[in-house]
Amino acid sequence: MTQAPRRKRANGVESRQRILDATVEIAGERGYDGTSIAAVSAKCGLPASSIYWHFKDKDDLIAAVIERSFETWLTAVELPGEGAGAPLERMTAMAANIAKSLVDAPDFLRLGLMLALERRPTEPRGRTVFLQVRDISRRRIAELLQGLFPDLDAPDLATLTTYTVAGADGLFVQREVAGDDVDLVALFEMHARMVYEAAARLSRAASPAAPCGD
């Protein structure tokens, strides 16, 4: 603090961040194979060999990117208090929140989906990591649904969770393809409502009584 550190003095943490920043951007745009160490090096300004000082290999780098992106994304999503309001309102609010975070930082999910779709003989660790963190999200959604609709039986809950996640993924793709024409927030809210109705219906079926209307 007293000695105003000579900028550019070797700073491991900052270099690591710069590398990761460059990598999300490139990998988020071009996928695993499309991401070359040389391109990352060019974008972050550090020589390729420095990247290997921070990361074991390309696989490791991509995996680290997925990890860090997920954490960033998670904190962006979880800020708002989850507990308040009526069920439907809570669900649409959360959906809107997630939609916003995806619009702001689409690289994470874009890269993740690209990795997820690939089917190569030796699976990149980044893919594994993505599928793991994605499973965390999935579990959280399942818990939420179960909290709101305690009567749902296990298979229905699983199906509904799958459907929820699928809708999110699909709508995200839609926006990536069609661009800003697509109002992701509105679509996510609609998706939340549809899931809500389906859950209510299934719930009703499981525990009888309750007339029409919602």
Separation CA 133–CA 65 (nearest Å): 12
Residue from 21, 29, 43, 50 that binds DNA (CB under 7 A)?
A: 50
Residue from 74, 88, 96, 182 that binds its own copies (CB under 8 A)?
A: 182
Identify the sign of the CA torsion 139, 144, 147, 153: negative
Residue from 177, 180, 208, 209 that binds its own copies (CB under 8 A)?
A: 177
User: Which region, judged by CB under 7 A, interacts with DNA, from 8-16, 93-101, 104-112, 122-130?
Assistant: 8-16
Three-class secondary structure assignment of 156-181: HHHHHHHHHHHHHHHHHHHHHHHHHH
Chain residues 121-150 in contact with DNA, contact rule CB under 7 A = none
Q: HSE-up of 143 (CA within 13 Å, CB side)?
A: 8
User: Which region, judged by CB under 7 A, interacts with DNA, from 42-50, 65-73, 98-106, 127-135?
Assistant: 42-50
CB 121 → DNA: shortest distance, Å? Answer: 13
- Token look-up 């929820």 returns 164
Beta strands in 84-198 (DSSP E): none
Separation CA 62–CA 65 (nearest Å): 5
The conformational region for residue 31 under phi > 0 = left, psi -120 to 50 = alpha, else beta, is left
Nearer to its own copies, 31 or 87 (CB): 31
Separation CA 167–CA 154 (nearest Å): 20
CB 4 → DNA: shortest distance, Å? Answer: 13
Residues in contact with its own copies by CB under 8 A are 28-34, 110, 113-114, 116-120, 131, 134, 159, 162-163, 165-171, 173-174, 176-178, 182, 186-187, 190-191, 194, 197-198, 211-213
Residues in contact with DNA by CB under 7 A are 6, 8-16, 35-39, 46-54, 57-59
